[in-house]
Amino acid sequence: METILSVLNKTTDFLQKHGVPNARLDSQLLLAHGLGLKRMDLFLNFDRPLQEKELASLRPMVARRAKREPLQHILGSTSFRGHNIKCDKRALVPRQETELMIDIFGNGEHGAESRLILDVGTGTGAIAIAAALELNAKVLACDVSEEALELAKENVALHNLEKKVSFIHSDLLSALPSDSKFDALLANLPYIPLADASALQPEVINGDPHLALFGGTDGLELIRKLLNTCADYLKPNAPVILEIASGQEKNLQNENFMNLKFLKTQKDYSEKTRFAVFLCAKITE
């Protein structure tokens, strides 16, 4: 009879043959999810026999992962700064690197007094949820995708944050009221150059919405549009924190954006430049 350990080993070998990155970890997460266990419980129950009905429930999930469907879609959620975020094809799967955006804002000189945040391109709503829970902020989250907004609303409801996070369907800032004034802007917009599509992992190119991935020829098309229009919606000295690809900071530092001052860049966990930070340079009205 199959045991947890034998199935774990066979699943790992199967996923490795199909080129799945981190096959061992993914196998552990799939088995734990399918068996209703915590991942650590697997190690305490390696010799536990598995019934046929348990194996039958695991096989479809393993097959989906072997076809390079994102693990987060199979499990139905992911962790973002320890907050459970529902995931599916409606929005980009939140990345671990993006978590640092909250730290950059929270540790910044403007973080302490900032209370009203604009989250542009909210996707799953992960950034808005983390900001509301950890920074005690109120957040207006916007996205051009109505499907993404539906998912974000579901995630906000899961965390009972309806009073702290509100939504607006908007192509960048086009639908915002003209008198809106925010203490900060956070944005993880599409920044992958179109030419890089062929280099993406199958999980990304086939699992994430292309609308959330590609930012034009050099990846900065939407980011430039945002930087050229956002100052009118910000209070003086409000920070603008953007996730970018390593190397794009050179272009952003050398370009001029209306009423914005470039402040700094920030690296991610892999020591790659991942964020660009600007300050609103408008004079107090």
Mean pLDDT of all residues in the chain? Answer: 94
What does the pLDDT look like over 44-69, one tens digit per residue? Answer: 999 999 999 999 999 999 999 999 99
**Helix axis angle, 126-134 relative to 100-107, nearest 10°?**
40
What does the pLDDT look like over 172-196, one tens digit per residue? Answer: 999 999 999 999 999 999 999 999 9
Portions of the chain given CATH number 1.10.8: 4-67
Supply the pTM of this predicted model: 0.93
Q: How many Cβ atoms from other residues are within 10 Å of residue 45's Cβ?
A: 13
Q: What percent of the chain has pLDDT over 70?
A: 96
Residue 111 has pLDDT above 90, yes or no: no
Domain 4-67 of CATH type 1.25.40? no
Give me the torsion for CA of 227, 88, 40, 34, rounded to 10°.
Answer: 180
Portions of the chain given CATH number 3.40.50.150: 75-280
Q: Which residue is associated with the tokens 């973002």?
A: 80
Q: Residues near 214 by Cβ (< 8 Å), separated by ≥ 6?
A: 190, 192, 193, 194, 197
CA distance 176 to 167: 10
Which numeric CATH code is attached to 75-280? 3.40.50.150
Q: What is the mean predicted confidence (pLDDT) over 79-97?
A: 97
CA distance 160 to 264: 34
Q: What is the mean predicted confidence (pLDDT) over 32-46?
A: 95
Say which amino acid occupies 275.
Answer: F
| pLDDT score of 108 | 65
Residue 114 has pLDDT above 80, yes or no: no
